[in-house]
Amino acid sequence: MIALAVAVSGCSNGGAKQVTPTVLPATTAPSPSAEPGPASEIRLAFAGDVHFIDETLPHLDNPRTAFGAYADLLRAADFAMVNLETAITERGEKGPKRFHFRAPPVAYSAVKEAGIDLVSIANNHTLDYGEIGLIDTLDFAQLADMPVVGAGRNVTEAYTPFVTTVKGIRIAVVALSQVWELAAQWKATATKPGIAMAFDKALSVAAVKKAKSMADIVVVYLHWGTEDVSCANNDQKNIAKALADAGAHILVGTHSHVPHGDGYIGKTYVHYGLGNFLWARSGSKDTLLLNLTVRRDGSVAKREYVIGVVSENGQPVPISGPELAATQQRLDQAAKCTGLAPAPA
């Protein structure tokens, strides 16, 4: 189910969209008066992993241009989301792991300037600099008025869906991590800040059911998969089925550094992996921007990719010609092992 790259008309208005970026309490319904003239469908954009280290860190000197050529494509969507795979902190001690990512608070400015409306922080780097680093990540997000989802000061906050209204259509987003590394230490509890973990199936399913009671469209953004492998593993397939059964309309994921394929579980659209996006370059350089036109009932009316590569300076760049053809072959190969249906049931 891999599509050819498509051109999407951009805009240069600083990402202004008909979006009400408000995190609502689980007991509060979105205000129907926020958006006049509800649309019948909206366009959602999803991309993969983002961090600011090594060659990507200098892009923060000019936040407006940090995301390069893809920024206009993100701004053109009604709602755009990525995975912010770093602690936003200048404090803390390195955790007991090999790789450690952190960035200054201006990272949130770069994300906002690119027209990104929400970032997942449910990943295996948000606590690289400990609980202090996570608290800073949350506090700086609030100061920047940048919505985040997938982690919190306690388990309730970590699993609480983000809810917003876009052109009169309510969207709820749940973010989860399914990475084993330090999962037991990093999971949120009643008394400890941490990540929303997909391994806790009961909490994950409950979060999706809550989201479904609050919104027209339910999205789950997952950090999952086996690094450098473009086929979904059994953990991914099992939780994807559980979340689809719970009422999720769209499942998208990242973490493996390489793009995966997509398809359907029943009526639920699933994309197992979007690859790196704005990333200090190593390994695979293939990247995707996924554009979904979604109806009010959560069904996907249209799916398009903007296929690109992560360039030498870490920015994603759309491609064409022979380079696109070669990447398309790799994506077609990845599509063969999804185990997903090619169309909704």
Q: What is the pLDDT of residue 11?
A: 38
Give yes or no for residue 69 having a pLDDT over 90: yes
Give the pLDDT of residue 37: 72
Q: Tell me, what's the pLDDT at 98?
A: 94
CATH superfamily of 36-335: Metallo-dependent phosphatases (3.60.21.10)
Judged against a pLDDT cut of 60, whether residue 314 lies above it is answered with yes
pLDDT band at 281 (very low <50, low <70, confident <90, very high): confident
Region of poorest pLDDT, from 14-28, 95-109, 141-155: 14-28
- Secondary structure (3-state) at 73: helix
CA distance 297 to 171: 11
Strand boundaries in 11-94, DSSP class E: 19-20, 41-50, 79-84, 87-88
CA distance 189 to 207: 15
pLDDT tens profile 172-219: 999 999 999 999 999 999 999 999 999 999 999 999 999 999 999 999
18 has pLDDT over 90: no
pLDDT at position 249, please? 98
Q: List the single range of 10-19, 30-39, 227-236, 256-265 with lowest mean pLDDT.
A: 10-19
Tokens of 165: 């209204």
Note the pLDDT of residue 38: 84
Say what the pLDDT of residue 12 is: 36
Between the alpha carbon of residue 190 and those of residues 5, 155, 248, the distances in Å are 45, 5, 25
Q: Enter the pTM of the model.
A: 0.89
**Between 340 and 21, where is the model more confident?**
340
- List the chain domain ranges: 36-335
pLDDT tens-digit readout, 51-62: 999 999 999 999
- Mean pLDDT, residues 318-322: 96
pLDDT computed for residue 17 by the predictor: 62
pLDDT tens-digit readout, 121-132: 999 999 999 999
